Structures are given as C-alpha cells and as structure tokens.
Structure 1
Amino acid sequence: MKAVRILLHALRQVLGNLKQAIALSAVPLAVGLCMGAGLIAVARYWAKPPGIGGGGLVTALLSYVLLMAWLAVRWHRFILLDEHKHLLAPPSRTPFWRYIGALLRSIVIIVPAILAMLAALFVVSEVGSGILTIVVMVVMNLLFFGLLLILGAALAGAAVGAPSPIRTAWEKMKPAGGTLLVLSLTAFIGNEVVEAIMEATASSRWPDLAKVIAMVCYFWLSVLFSLSVLTTLWGHYVEGRPLR
C-alpha cells in the first residue's frame, strides 16, 4: 500500500538524518522555549492581574508560526535540495517569505472549508440521528485532513521555489485520492495518540523538568515526522522521486 510506503519513507528521512534534524531544530526550538518561559514568567510574576493577555497570546501565536516556518523551510530544502550549509542559520529570506505567502493563501482556502464543515455538521445534527452525525463528522474530518496534506505538500514546494505550488500540488495529487484518505486516517489517529501521550506525561508523577523534556521531545518528533510526510508527498507526486 502506497500510504504505508510514504510513511516509512518519511520515517527513514527522520531517522537517517537525525543529527542534521537536531541541528536544524536547535535554534527555533531554543528560541521557542525561551519565549515560552518568558511569557510564563511575565504572566505569573509581573502581569496584573496574573495571566497572559490578548497581546501575549498574539505574540505567542505569531512567534510559533514563524519558528515553525523557519524549521519547515530549512527541513524541506535540506531534503529536497540537499541544502547542508550552515544548519544552525535561519532560512534565506526569499524561500522563507515565499513559504509564508503560500501559508497565507492556504489559510484563505482552509477557513471557508472549516465554515462549510461546521455548517454541514449543524444541518446534519438538526435533521439526522446521532449516528449519522458521527459518520458525517468522521468523513468530513478525513476529507479535511486530505486537504491539509495537499496544502502542506504545496508549502514544501513553496520552500524550494516551485511556481504556483498550491495549484501544482492539487493537480499532481488528485489521482492519489485513496492514498490521501488513508494518510488522513493515519494523521487523525496519530494526532489523537500524541495528545494522549502528552496528557499522560503531564499527569504522571515524573519531576516537572522530566515532563517538560519528554513533552518537547514528543512534540518535536511529531512535527519533524509530519514535515517529512509533506516533503515526501511533494517529492514523490510532483517531482517524481521514487519511494525507498
């Protein structure tokens, strides 16, 4: 099954380049941890009343997006273009802002899709049974994850300078609908598993520092594997690269 081969290929990308992955992730991860610690300290000791206000949340969200874009661009270019130079350095401006532009265009597509899903679920819940609502919800979630996979692969294309990456990814990946649905189901289940592991770690009796380290490692590995799946989708379906 091609979906399994894609997942195994992505896993080999991570495991076969683990040292490089650590180097590429080091700066954005360190910056993110420092900013998170700073926001928590401000919210706990200096904010009156204590807490993170709207400005803090916006700052945290924008910082998260920019740092994830940093890692994504470097990883996509490392795998697809064999870009080894200065692994600790930030991405070049042109591919970075090209990636951000494609991300913004993707959001323009995603928001109406979410609104349509919510409207459809509301209608079904009003006129149908509970079982029908659950079935429709599962199907729509799988289709939504499939859309995210296509747009995510397009972001990999934007990172390496491909023209019209969203349109290209859509056209090249349309024949792979069945594979995308299987990958969507895997992503849906994987997301639930990661959340369950994070919650179990947070509620464990481990020392707080051990909890933080473990949760950061879980998150990092899940992000890197997800990026590798998107890299593989672009490389295989658009660039015609074989799966190992």
Structure 2
Amino acid sequence: MIFGDLKTVLRVSIPVIVVLAAAIAIFGGTMVTVSDFPADGLALPSLGLMSLFFVAYILAILWMAVAWHRYCLLAEYPGAFLPNFHGDRIAAYFGRMLMLVLIAMVIGGLGSFVIGLVIGTGSGSFGVVGGALGLTGMLALIWAFQRLSIILPAAAIGEPLTLGEAWAATAPLSMPIIGVLVLLLLFSLAMGLAVGALTLIHPAIGMLGNLIMSWLQTVLGLSILTTLYGVAVQGRDID
C-alpha cells in the first residue's frame, strides 16, 4: 500500500510535508522550552506561533488521514497538488478520534485506580505484581483501542460505525491484531535505533531522519486501519 504506490502516498502527504517544512524553516529545527523564554514576556508571540503550527499540523494529519482512507477504500485520487479537502469528514474523523482517546483515558484511569486498591502501592512483590498487572492492562487497552479504531476510516468515507459494530466486526481478527501490534512495536524500536544512529552522524541528519520515520509510522498506522476496515467490514481479501 505504501511503497507500491509511493507517488500517491507523497501527494496525499503534502499538507503534512508543507507544515513541517514551514516549521523547520521558521524555527530552524530547534526545540524551544519554557525555560528559554525571557521574563519580560517578549517570547509570547513565539508561543502563539508554535501553537498555530501545532493546530496546523493536527489539521494536516487529519486531512492526510481522510484522504488516504478515501484513496484506499473509494479509489478517490488526490488533486493535482493537494488531496481533496472534505471538511465534514475531517470533523467527523477528529470527533471520533477524540472520543476514542477520552474513552481510553477513562478506562486507563479506572484500571490504574482499581489496581492501586487491590495491590497497593508498596514495594517488593506487591510492586512487581502491580507493575505486571498495569503492563497487561495497558497492552489490553491498546489492543481494544486498535479494534475500535476502525470507526475512523468508516468516518472518513462517510459510512460511520458504532463502537459495538466495530468491536463485533473485528472479533474474527482478534489474534491477528495482536500479531500486528507486536510487529508495530518491533518496527518502532528499529526506527528508534536508526534515528539514534543518524543523530550520532549529525544532529541535522538525525532530525531529518526522525521526521521521515515519524511520517512513515503515521502512514503505516493509517494503512493498517484501512486494511482492518476493508477486511472486517467490507469483506475484502487481505491481498
């Protein structure tokens, strides 16, 4: 899906590429922290500018996500320069993503609270058991989040799913999804090592490598969601 049609992937990614290129040109690729700001408040415009770029980046990611889902599932090709902008689908995508994040936060918080009550916060074996339960709960939450996330490509193409429908549709793929998550973890670790090696060569090369790897991971995640939706809901073959 990615390297077999890299030209289209790059065209769909143009909003993100433009925003990142503008950010690098303006900020010079440097990280600005609160401790860097002078006490007289002269840096407040920089904060505003960074906030503006953050909003633009989120919008660009959503724009790219909707365009990629629609290309893969509806064969909707991007325009001559920019992918088609579907404001209503982007808003729906953002709303469902926000809903998933809030649900995950609530469940994660409740899970941590329950583990804290049952195990306690002591050290020794209790701490080890609590850590193991916490890790298991986190992995289970990520697995459930992945299954429910097919509501995102559904929103992108205008065929929304309920959470219950998404959960039922992905039930036959429960075990394969675990395998995919393991492969994603290994891929992320490999990319992190690669970026670290590039940074040792030169910080600028490392920064560029980090941007490329982040973009690749984003497109890969979107492609996995698209595939899950196509197989689980539309009944497509994995090939």
Shorter-normalised TM-score: what interval? Answer: 0.7 to 0.9
Q: Distance in 2 between matches of 1:25 and 1:143?
A: 31
2:38 corresponds, among 33, 48, 71, to 48
Q: Shift in Å at residue 130 of structure 1? A: 4.1
Q: Distance in 2 between matches of 1:193 and 1:136?
A: 27
Answer whether contact 2:151 2:160 (CA < 8 A) is retained: no
In the TM superposition, 1:142-161 aligns within 5 A as 142-161=139-158
In the TM superposition, 1:169-180 aligns within 5 A as 169-180=166-177
Q: Distance in 1 between matches of 2:31 and 2:208?
A: 22
Cα RMSD of the aligned pairs, angstroms, is 3.0
1:73 aligns with 2:73: no
Shift in CA distance, 168/56, structure 1 to aligned 2, threshold 3 Å: farther
Q: TM-score, normalised by structure 1?
A: 0.79
Q: 3-state DSSP class of the match of 2:13?
A: helix
In the TM superposition, 1:94-133 aligns within 5 A as 94-123=88-117, 124=119, 126=121, 128-133=125-130
Q: Shift in Å at residue 26 of structure 1? A: 2.0
1:91 corresponds, among 85, 93, 110, to 85
Matched residue pairs, number?
A: 229
Mark the runs of 5 or more structure 2 residues left unpaired by the alignment.
Answer: none
Deviation by residue 1:135-162 (Cα, 9 ceiling, x = unmatched): 3233222212112212332111110111
Q: Shift in Å at residue 121 of structure 1? A: 4.7
Deviates more, 1:175-184 or 1:14-23: 175-184
Shift in CA distance, 95/236, structure 1 to aligned 2, threshold 3 Å: same
Answer whether contact 2:15 2:63 (CA < 8 A) is retained: no
> Higher helix proportion, which one?
1
Q: 3-state DSSP class of the match of 1:129?
A: helix
Q: Distance in 2 between matches of 1:51 and 1:181?
A: 46
Q: 3-state DSSP class of the match of 2:180?
A: helix
Mark the runs of 5 or more structure 1 residues left unpaired by the alignment.
Answer: 1-12
Q: Which has the higher contact order (CA 8 A, sep 6+)?
A: 1
